[in-house]
């Protein structure tokens, strides 16, 4: 019985490094706070989850460690063969099934990025105003996760906060916010933050940007509003600035939840530069989908800063780590500490670094 360890971290290939650093951070939290997770936690080993892909591309995961009665935290990336792959839910299901058939006690999915969350409602035909016959794919994702037998989800900055409501009340949901890590980066790494202003590239991000301004003291500059005649196309950008902000000469810093095609960020940056802003623009995004690659941002003189939620390698891109955020959430889950108290409040979060 003395050898029993309740918690095991498993990770698929692209997240091996994140899981290793998360494990070390959990041990750091244990040393700092002095409350060891009940039953302990196994040292992370990459080989605990082995993946075989057959010549016909069928996917076979195998758990190589005894997981009977253990709680599993499964790190799963929506990346395959070095490319963003949003349709990996069947492969995820096979790993979960392997854990359940090996009598794991409870499975927590650690998925910093979840695809399809932009599809949170049915679209409206812009010409007729009629609702289109489309799925609400965000709800489909939630239903798929629950149906697999997963009992808890740890994700980072979901596209819409109401995503939590897609799950039943008995499901354990932790929607972490990368804001505290971006706050820390802005104040400790970004040159001359006091000369900057924070902007949202769309109207929906206004409240998010005000949270960053509150945490960092960097002024809230304003909002850009895009008009899309069709999906993926931008016809014009309107700028709504705060009364105390002068656009001319300001160093614009955008913050968004994701980079997809990057058309909105590029158009908004170009409009502010046209109005006299400093041409060297910085843009933060939690999830770097970058469906057209990183070059469109670099060619537009925009410095991209993203997290490791989608583990792809991009040139000239600064990566903000997530192991402290995820490790803190797992440690709090295992020991009963407050997650909101230390992982949503920057003043408290920086004291844990």
Sequence ranges of the domains in the chain: 7-177+322-350, 180-320
Kindly indicate whether the domain formed by 180-320 is annotated with CATH number 1.10.1840.10: no
Two structure tokens written together for 43:
């040292």
* Residue 179 pLDDT greater than 90, yes or no: yes
pLDDT mean over 206-214:
94
pLDDT mean over 242-261:
94
> Are 75 and 51 in contact, with CB atoms under 8 Å apart?
no
What does the pLDDT read at residue 228? 62
Angle between helices 323-335 and 16-33 (to 10 degrees): 50
Two structure tokens written together for 319:
């990566």
CATH topology of domain 7-177+322-350: Rossmann fold (3.40.50)
User: What's the CA gap between 150 and 73, in Å, rounded?
Assistant: 10
What are the backbone angles phi and psi of residue 328, rounded to the nearest 5°? -65, -40
Average pLDDT, the chain: 93
Two structure tokens written together for 70:
């253990």
| β-strands 7-11, 71-75 pairing | parallel
User: What's the CA gap between 242 and 318, in Å, rounded?
Assistant: 29
Q: How far is CA 246 from CA 80, 106, 269, 277, 324, in A?
A: 45, 53, 15, 9, 36
Asked about 350 being catalytic, the answer comes back as: no
Do the domains 180-320 and 7-177+322-350 match in fold?
yes
Marked catalytic residue, from 161, 226, 303, 350 = 226
* Residue 41 pLDDT greater than 90, yes or no: yes
Instruction: Identify the three-state secondary structure at position 318.
Output: strand
* Residue 272 pLDDT greater than 50, yes or no: yes
- Specify the range with the lowest mean pLDDT, choosing from 22-36, 41-55, 75-89, 316-330: 22-36
């Amino acid at each position: 019985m003395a050898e029993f360890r309740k918690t095991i971290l498993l990770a698929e290939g692209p997240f091996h490094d994140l899981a290793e650093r998360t494990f070390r951070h959990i041990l750091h939290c244990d040393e700092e706070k002095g409350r060891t997770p009940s039953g302990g936690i196994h040292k992370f080993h990459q080989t605990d989850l082995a993946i075989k892909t057959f010549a016909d591309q069928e996917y076979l995961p195998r758990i190589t460690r005894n997981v009977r009665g253990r709680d599993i935290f499964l790190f799963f990336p929506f990346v395959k063969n070095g490319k963003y792959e949003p349709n990996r839910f069947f492969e995820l299901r096979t790993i979960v099934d392997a854990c359940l058939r090996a009598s794991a006690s409870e499975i927590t999915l650690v998925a910093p990025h979840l695809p399809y969350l932009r599809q949170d409602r049915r679209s409206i035909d812009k010409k007729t105003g009629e609702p289109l016959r489309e799925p609400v794919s965000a709800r489909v994702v939630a239903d798929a996760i629950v149906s697999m037998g997963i009992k808890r989800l740890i994700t980072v900055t979901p596209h819409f906060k109401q995503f939590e409501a897609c799950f039943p009340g008995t499901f354990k949901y932790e929607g972490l916010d990368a804001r505290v890590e971006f706050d820390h980066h802005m104040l400790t790494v970004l040159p001359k933050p006091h000369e900057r202003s924070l902007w949202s590239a769309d109207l929906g991000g206004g409240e998010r940007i005000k949270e960053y301004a509150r945490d960092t003291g960097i002024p809230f500059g304003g909002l850009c509003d895009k008009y899309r005649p069709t999906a993926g196309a931008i016809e014009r950008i309107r700028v709504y600035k705060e009364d105390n902000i002068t656009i001319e000469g300001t160093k614009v810093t955008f913050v968004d939840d994701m980079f997809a095609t990057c058309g909105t960020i590029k158009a908004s940056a170009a409009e502010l530069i046209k109005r006299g802003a400093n041409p060297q623009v910085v843009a933060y995004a939690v999830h770097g989908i970058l469906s057209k690659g990183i070059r469109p941002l670099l060619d537009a003189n925009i410095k991209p800063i993203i997290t490791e939620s989608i583990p792809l390698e991009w040139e000239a891109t600064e990566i903000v780590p997530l192991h402290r955020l995820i490790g803190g959430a797992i440690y709090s889950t295992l020991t009963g500490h407050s997650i909101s108290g230390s992982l949503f409040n920057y003043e408290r979060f920086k004291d844990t670094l």
